[in-house]
Amino acid sequence: MRALVTRGKPGLELIELPEPETPAGHVKVRVLRAGICGTDLHIDGWDAWAQSAVTPGLTVGHEFCGEIVEVGEGVTDYAVGQLMSGEGHVVCGHCRNCRAGRRHLCIHTSNLGVQRDGCFAEHVVLPATNVWVHPGLTAATATPEQLDVFGIYDPFGNAVHTALKFPVIGEDVLVTGAGPIGLMAAMVARHAGARHIVITDIAEPRLELARSLGFRALNPREESIGAVQRELGMQEGFDVALEMSGSPSALVGIIENLNFGGRIAMLGLPAQPIEVDFAKVVSHMLTIQGIYGREMFETWYAMAAMAQTGLDVSPVITDRFAFADWEAAFERARSGDAGKVVLDFTDLQGA
């Protein structure tokens, strides 16, 4: 099979590899769609983080959907031919958090496409416990647009986990970072009943995409968040903030514009330590909650329910490339001008 691997230096390589075996308790999946994530860009660039976390020779990629083509011994809940998306965090099942049902907090988590071979390949193998099936659909009956969205259920789940960490019904929500996950988080908050939603970013193409989705979006270097609050008729600060950018200045801006008792859900990973005004955090009784991945599988049920009740995140997918054109796809994803970039594997498989 063809697979995209890291060689322990900048750049990835598309090579031929043996098709993987299917161990007991696992399933083999024919990949149909895969999303390019910031993690993949770090590995492609072979930066300091990638050098410390990834073993050369690894197949990269962790956002995908596909068709189950083989089930390992002992797998009884899934069958060949089912259409699925993959949960990319593989947990141990025996640490305290796993045994308590908090699998998203597993202390031994290994990540698809980082610590174990990922989905930028014709086939990927993962534990059956990491399968999310899309009932009533197959690779033949799902539309291309449905497959695109199923291919980004992993980041969609990040958005849902972040946006629903705190109640948002009737609340005013500030979203910092208009990348694909930030935009999906804003869409989730709106679907869940938030009142005013304001999105900030410093990249104009992303702000334009946010505006096209019906959001009030601004560049905080050019426009005051406080002024926008007054424009919207807000009498007090934001109730909930979703920090999706990893920018130190974004968190500072959130704290300055949050109401007393405000709540912050942080998904963005800062590249360096952030200096926080903890006197204000204490005196304003703010809550800061880190978010990583998805709650397994409560987040997935919420995702499915919102999709069934009309939430359509497909507008965040701005670019689609055949897997054979992966280099152009990575270049587009790295440009900062795109929304979500999706790879289509059907050109390899004749599907």
pTM attached to this predicted model = 0.95
**Would you state the pLDDT for residue 351?**
41
Q: What is the Cα–Cα distance from 242 to 283, expressed in whole angstroms?
A: 21
H-helix segments, the chain: 38-45, 48-53, 96-99, 144-150, 153-163, 180-191, 204-212, 225-231, 248-257, 278-283, 298-308, 326-334, 346-349
**What confidence tens digit (pLDDT) does each residue in 138-167 have?**
999 999 999 999 999 999 999 999 999 999
Q: Which class for 277: exposed (0-12), middle (13-18), buried (19 or more C-beta within 10 A)?
A: middle
User: Residue 349: which pLDDT band, with cuts at 50, 70 and 90?
Assistant: low
Say which residue the tokens 């980041």 belong to.
155
**Would you state the pLDDT for residue 271?**
82
**Contact assessment for residue 176 and residue 203, using Cβ atoms and an 8 Å cutoff:** no
Cβ count near 276 (within 10 Å):
14
Is 350 a residue whose pLDDT tops 50? no
**Would you state the pLDDT for residue 191?**
98
**What confidence tens digit (pLDDT) does each residue in 2-40 have?**
999 999 999 999 999 999 999 999 999 999 999 999 999
Q: What is the Cα–Cα distance from 317 to 23, expressed in whole angstroms?
A: 34
Q: What is the Cα–Cα distance from 236 to 173, expressed in whole angstroms?
A: 12
Q: In the structure encoding, which two tokens stand for residue 139, read together?
A: 């690779």
Domains and CATH numbers, the chain: 2-152+313-349 (3.90.180.10), 159-290 (3.40.50.720)
Calculate mean pLDDT across residues 168-180.
98
Is 330 a residue whose pLDDT tops 80? yes
Mean pLDDT of all residues in the chain? 96
What is the SS3 string spanning 239-272? EEEEECCCCHHHHHHHHHHEEEEEEEEECCCCCC
Cα–Cα distances in angstroms (integers) from residue 56 to residues 7, 21, 34, 43, 333, in the given order? 5, 20, 21, 10, 22
User: Mind telling me the catalytic residues?
Assistant: 39, 42
Q: Which class for 21: exposed (0-12), middle (13-18), buried (19 or more C-beta within 10 A)?
A: exposed
